[in-house]
């Protein structure tokens, strides 16, 4: 429904060739279905089109667009607008942020951020699978165990590789001291960590 908001052929073609063209079409369809007034709808689409042109200029791939990019675009569009600016300037920036936030949500729906799994993530996932398949524990119990296991591994190995074979009993005691685990909970904590220690041998 872009042609509802842009009657001039040249202007319409520019929007159809925009870096974010697919999202401009979707926004135009939604606005038309919602009965959005002509001028506000056109303004919102034009703003997103400018955002698209800016992204293209800086060489940002659409799947890599971040909220920081959106904020930088708005900051360059409205330099100097902050808490000390006039109420009118602040309200204008707030209104301009709405269509930008909308297209950011649309982008994330099409291009979800894929978090790179860390060594700890992979180890905890393996432990969870082992507890479920070989121990038959309830999901809530597994979740509780894995929470403690994750904290322990993050403290013991940080961002480095996880080597369960290198874990010593003193590491568990150090973890208890660092995290403030009380004495009465240390035995069950050790049992949880033994799931990590024993997993490689069980899994081969």
Rounded Cα gap, residues 177 and 132, in angstroms: 29
Give, as one character, the DSSP assignment of residue 118. P
Place of tokens 């479920």: 132
Mean pLDDT of 168-190: 68
User: Whole-model pTM?
Assistant: 0.58
pLDDT of 203 strictly over 50: no
Give, as one character, the DSSP assignment of residue 185. G
pLDDT of 202 strictly over 60: no
Closest by CA to 55, choosing from 40, 30, 76, 41, is 76
Residue 143's pLDDT is what?
82
Residue 28's pLDDT is what?
94
Q: Which of 17-31, 61-75, 184-198 has the lowest mean pLDDT?
A: 184-198
pLDDT of 26 strictly over 90: yes
Rounded Cα gap, residues 161 and 119, in angstroms: 6
Residue 178's pLDDT is what?
78
């Amino acid at each position: 429904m872009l042609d509802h908001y842009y009657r001039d052929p040249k202007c319409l073609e520019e929007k159809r060739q925009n870096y974010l063209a697919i999202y401009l079409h979707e926004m135009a369809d939604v606005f038309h279905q919602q009965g959005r007034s002509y001028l506000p709808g056109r303004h919102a689409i034009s703003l997103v089109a400018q955002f698209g042109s800016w992204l293209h200029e800086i060489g940002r791939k659409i799947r890599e667009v971040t909220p920081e990019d959106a904020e930088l675009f708005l900051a360059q569009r409205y330099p100097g607008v902050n808490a000390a600016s006039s109420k009118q300037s602040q309200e204008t920036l707030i209104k301009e942020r709405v269509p930008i936030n909308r297209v950011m949500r649309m982008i994330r729906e099409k291009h979800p951020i894929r978090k790179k799994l860390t060594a700890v993530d992979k180890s905890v996932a393996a432990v969870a699978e082992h507890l479920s398949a070989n121990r038959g524990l309830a999901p809530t119990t597994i979740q509780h165990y894995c929470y403690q296991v994750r904290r322990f591994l993050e403290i013991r190995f940080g961002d480095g590789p996880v080597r369960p074979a290198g874990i010593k009993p003193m590491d568990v005691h150090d973890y208890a001291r660092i995290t403030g685990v009380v004495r009465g909970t240390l035995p069950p904590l050790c049992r949880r960590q033994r799931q990590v220690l024993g997993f490689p041998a069980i899994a081969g």
